[in-house]
Amino acid sequence: MSSLSQTSIFRPVLTIVMSITIVLFGVIGFTYLGIREYPSIDPPIINVSTSYIGANADVVESQITEPLEEAINGVGGIRSLVSVSRDGRSTITVEFDLSVDLEAAANDVRDKVSQVVGNLPSDAEPPVVAKADADSEPVIFITIRSEKRPILDLTRIAKDVFKERFQTINGVSEIYIWGEKRYSMRLWMNPARLSAYGLTPLDVQEALRRQNVELPTGRIEGNETELSIRTMGQISTPAQFNDLIIKQEGENIVRFSDIGKAELGPQNLRTSLKRDGAPCVGNAIVTQPGTNQVAIVDEVYARLEQIKKDLPQDIEVGIGFDQTIYVRASIKEVEETILTAFVLVTLVIFLFLRDWRTSFIPVITIPVSLIGTFFIMYLAGFSINVLTLLGIVLAIGLVVDDAIVMMENIYSRIEKGEAPLEAGVKGASEIFFAVIATTVALVAVFLPIIFLRGQTGRLFVEFGLVIGGSVVISSFVALTLTPMLSSRILKRRERQNWFYRVSEPFFVWLNRGYAQSLLVFMKMRLLIWPLILGLGALIYIWGTTLPSEVAPLEDRSILRLSATGPEGATFEYMDAYMKQLIQYAQKEIPETEGIITVTSPGFSASSSVNSGFMRLRLLAPEKRLRTQREVAAQLSKDLPRFTDAKVNVFQTPTIGSGRAGLPH
């Protein structure tokens, strides 16, 4: 095995090429790595949603929710199953164990759902099975509002202008339009007139199905000409709907205008999205798994500036939230730490070796090992996040160990008078298995992390593999590049440099002090066992008394409020209540930078007409006097006086998603 070092010494070009290859593969892997704040630790979650318009909660539960639950319960790996049945809608949330693959779980749920679709009411819409993982959360939300235009027009602009431009960005998975109002034909019926004509809403529905239809009608063929025929059976204007024939008895015709009226309006009147109290719509952008979220958001901002140039003057565009703000801040701090650690390690090596030649050899190991680690991250499907970068920070101090040991052994032989090439060959052969042993020992410390289960294992598996991979690469560099450089760069000095001569007395004193302390300790070596037991007891006592959590709560300048009104509360009731919360936040919370509210949402399993959400964005921590925790404490204290509904205040967790929907 030591022939590897010998070959590297006598074939310097090959050695350099091998190190350059490691760097090139690392650079290539780096370009393909996604960027996020933390690894995904959220369990696989599948949502099954079914709409049954007009049915009350009891009917939805008995005819839709219960059959679907019985079928889905047969899927393996389910951790919990929660269902919510409300008027017109059934939502089932299935949470799987962390070890379950999300795609496989989604396919299993779809198979089970398809088996019972035929048993559901014919009027119900087909169940929709959707995945809800950490990558399905929007990374940026852009609000669009106007004081002159209705929400219907803003929805069209959000779809035809903003969504069309954003969905072509590389890495974008989906773009939601929150707060949208879709055009629809609303048919208002007068119950008294229906009764007078002996009609019911089912008669109107049947008339629509019979007359509002467009069927293929064939073609007309001539000797030399052929024409296709289209029957204009679709009706689209209010006048056409008002002229719709509902009933005919002889010459007596009952049209829809006789029992009601048709008008063009929004499909859903019972939901509202507002920015600082003003109605708005917005584009929520979701990225594909493993993509560079920071680069995608940068491109969104660039295209947004282009879109603004062509927008009418009355359109106001704002940023509802940008999740990459925290990613950028965290990554920047870790990058600064990496640079600081590299400088400190280099400085410490130089201070102890006191020569630029001997310092350069172990220092060159650092970039080669760390850059090569990015290729291992790419092969393992990891991302650039806080924990992988922290692993690189820790690895900076570990990857130089083998190189220092190898270089020091070769240098000691050179100082004894051996030729550099001879010293390199003999020194490398002596230390070869020692380097292998230290590498295996270090890897054995970190690799067992990959066998951890649960959130902790999912969180730190990338951390452990990054350190283990960097140590393995550094060992290879120490056995190839280090002996080659040592045999070419190092030389015996007849007279050391001035810094070496000045600092030598200190190191002589340090060595003498260590030798004396070692002699004293060896005389009392039996005390080592009580000392180890005592330290172990202290570690156990302190470790069990300290509070534990996955990660400390960070000040992210975001607070979320969830309001639930009394059963039977109308949309108007909740909208008025949310208006009170907006006025309170604007008046009593001076740290407020932006407020996004949604009344009676339809995106969450627990949402209904009597619910509402608020996302309170605070000023940056350096621009306010109070912390996020203090503002949350004030809200929790003051909001109970608004007795029309129950309000809960949430702070965004540091790791993991709350999955509370908009506006979380």
Query: pLDDT at position 304, please?
Result: 93
**What's the pLDDT score for residue 425?**
87
CA distance 465 to 383: 12
pLDDT higher than 50, residue 33: yes
Report pLDDT for 335.
84
pLDDT, residue 663, reads 39
pLDDT at residue number 179 = 87
Return the structure tokens found at 664: 């979380």
Percentage, residues of the chain above pLDDT 70:
96
Q: How confident is the model at residue 609 (pLDDT cuts 50, 70, 90)?
A: confident
Confirm if 235 and 211 have CB atoms less than 8 A apart: yes
Position 81 pLDDT exceeds 50: yes
pLDDT tops 50 at residue 660: no
pLDDT beyond 80 at 107:
yes
- DSSP conformation letters of 221-280: E-SS-EEEEE------SHHHHHT-EEEEETTEEEEHHHHEEEEEEES--S-EEEETTEE-
Give me the torsion for CA of 435, 439, 440, 446, rounded to 10°.
Answer: 170
Q: Please tell me the predicted confidence (pLDDT) of residue 659.
A: 46
Q: What is the pLDDT of residue 135?
A: 61
Amino acid 658: pLDDT: 46
Per the model's pLDDT, the better-predicted residue between 663 and 191 turns out to be: 191
According to the 3-state scheme, what is the secondary structure of 267-286?
A: CCCCCEEEECCEECEEEEEE
664 falls in which pLDDT band (50, 70, 90)? Answer: very low
Q: Which residue shows structure tokens 């050899």?
A: 361
Q: What is the mean pLDDT of residues 395-421?
A: 85
Over residues 499-509, mean pLDDT:
84
- pLDDT at residue 661 in the model: 43
Q: Is the pLDDT of residue 603 over 60?
A: no
Distance CA 551, CA 460 (A): 12
**pLDDT tens digits, 135-170:** 677 889 999 999 888 888 999 999 999 999 999 999
pLDDT of residue 605: 45
For the chain, percent of residues with pLDDT exceeding 90: 22
Query: Cα–Cα–Cα angle for 234, 266, 303, nearest 5°?
Result: 100
pLDDT category, 656, cuts 50, 70, 90?
A: low
Percentages helix, strand, coil for the chain (3-state, rounded to 5) are 55, 20, 25
Q: What is the mean pLDDT of residues 413-431?
A: 85
Is 35 in contact with 384 (CB distance < 8 Å)?
Answer: yes
Whether the ω angle into residue 266 lies within 30 degrees of 0, i.e. cis, is: no
What is residue 662's predicted lDDT score, i.e. its pLDDT?
44
Residue range 513-520: mean pLDDT, rounded? 88
How many residues would you count in the chain?
664
Mean pLDDT in residue range 266-293: 86
pLDDT, mean over the chain: 86
| pLDDT tens-digit readout, 308-337 | 988 888 899 989 888 888 888 888 888 888
Beta strand ranges found along 260-382 (DSSP E):
260-266, 272-275, 278-279, 281-287, 315-322
Q: What is the pLDDT of residue 133?
A: 63
**Alpha-carbon distance 383 to 364, whole Å?**
25
Residue 275's DSSP bridge partners are 278, 596
